[in-house]
Structure 1
Amino acid sequence: MKANILVTILLLFMSTIGFTQIKYEGKINSKYKFIKMDDGSLKYVKYDKDNQTIFIHNIDNSLWRSVKLPLPKNHLLDEIKLISQTTFNKDDKVELVYSCVEYLAPENYEDPSESFVRINFTLNVITETGESLLKVDSSNEMEIIHTEGQNKMLIYKHVGESFNNNDETLIYNLP
């Protein structure tokens, strides 16, 4: 009998520990992008368009780092693809992969064959000091893969003026 009472009390104690209350911590505006870092921590990114600066915040809203983006002339930020500290260098500097876009209007608006706006993408890899590690024109997509004990970066490059042409995948070995 004592064993049954002891087991019942133990089960009640375990169930109350397992079902603790969910506690609200706050909110972050949905227009900010979340990035999972190499160490598993989450950060969110704000972009100041006027100063071309990325602000990387911790989940508790404290500023972690800020990075000035060296956007090419007439380009706008398209998307932050990756934020890392160990993917490209082994120092503690933050590295960013981002794409930017330039919209090119046709030179002759009256020519029906040139009635569309061309889009020019650029994929950039930089350090937090603005040092360029890689720039790939005509690209806005990439991924990091782990294969055969090595890390590779695949960059998908648009060849030609439309997305239906013979696109290429550029393969880079990472340290």
Structure 2
Amino acid sequence: MKTLFLTLSIMIFLTASLFSQLKYEGKLDAKYKSIKLDDGNLKFVKYNKKEQEVLIFNSDYSLWRTIDLPLPKQHLLDEIKYISQRTFNNDDSVELVYSCLVYSLYDDYEDPENESVKIEFTLNIINESGEIILKVPDSNDMEIIDFNGTKKLLIYKHPSKHFEENGETLIYTLPAD
């Protein structure tokens, strides 16, 4: 009876292990961001502030690409938004969309005693050799959508200190596959 119980327990355990849906693989440091490329491949991205470079890793954590990202003076990296190949150009060069920001002081004209900090964003698209594809001041948000079979890049601008004022959306048609 004990042998039967032990055999059944082992079979139930093995069956549950084989059909489990969730399997822990490990953890990733918070300094990494996961990004799905336009071809469906998963990559992990990390910004090396000291060397001013973006490191892109494969899903097995091996280094795939290193892209220099020298930011303008006084600018900080806000976020890496999108990484692709063939979204903005038809070559095999890696393309990187990122936003950066700079803090500056401004005077409140209604209250001259009030000096405030203004955050200025810029959305940038570069290729892996550092060539600028597009630079949009007053933006740190974008989206790629499929519109009637054509891919569109939407860039959301917010040129004032209040996001809801004077905003606009810039629309670009992306190259066909």
Q: CA deviation at 1:107?
A: 6.7
Distance 2:107 2:23 in 1: 58
For 1:53 and 1:173, locate their aligned partners in 2 and report how far apart those are by CA, in whole Å. 29
Alpha-carbon RMSD across the aligned residues, in angstroms, is 2.4
Q: Normalising by the residue count of structure 1, what TM-score does the alignment of the two structures yield?
A: 0.82
**Residue of structure 1 equivalent to 2:71:** 71
Q: Which residue pairs with 1:138 in the alignment?
A: 138
Aligned residue for 1:116? Answer: 116
Shift of residue 73, structure 1, vs aligned partner: 2.1
Query: How far did 1:134 drift?
Result: 0.3
CA distance in 2, matches of 1:151, 1:55: 27
Question: Number of residue pairs matched?
Answer: 160
The answer to whether residue 57 in structure 2 is matched with residue 51 in structure 1 is: no
TM-score normalized by the length of structure 2: 0.81
Q: Which has the higher strand share?
A: 2
Structure 1's unaligned 5+ residue stretches are: 1-11
Question: What is the one-letter code of the residue matched to 2:113?
Answer: P
Match of 1:89, SS state, is coil
Give the direction of change, closer, same or farther, for the CA distance of 1:112–1:61 in structure 2 (3 Å limit).
same
Deviation at 1:58, TM superposition (A): 1.1
Greater alpha carbon shift after TM alignment, 15-24 vs 127-136 = 15-24
Conservation of the 8 A alpha-carbon contact between 2:107 and 2:116: no
Q: How does 1:1-175 map to 2 (within 5 A)?
A: 19=19, 24-106=24-106, 111-113=112-114, 115-175=115-175
1:95-126, Cα deviation, whole Å (9 max, x unpaired): 00000000002379x9423x210011000000
| Structure 2: tracts of 5 or more residues without a match | 1-11
Q: Following the alignment from structure 1 to structure 2, what is the Cα–Cα distance between the partners of residues 122 and 135?
A: 7
The CA deviation at 1:21 is 8.7
Task: Tell me which stretches of 4 or more aligned residues in structure 1 moved more than 6 Å.
Answer: none
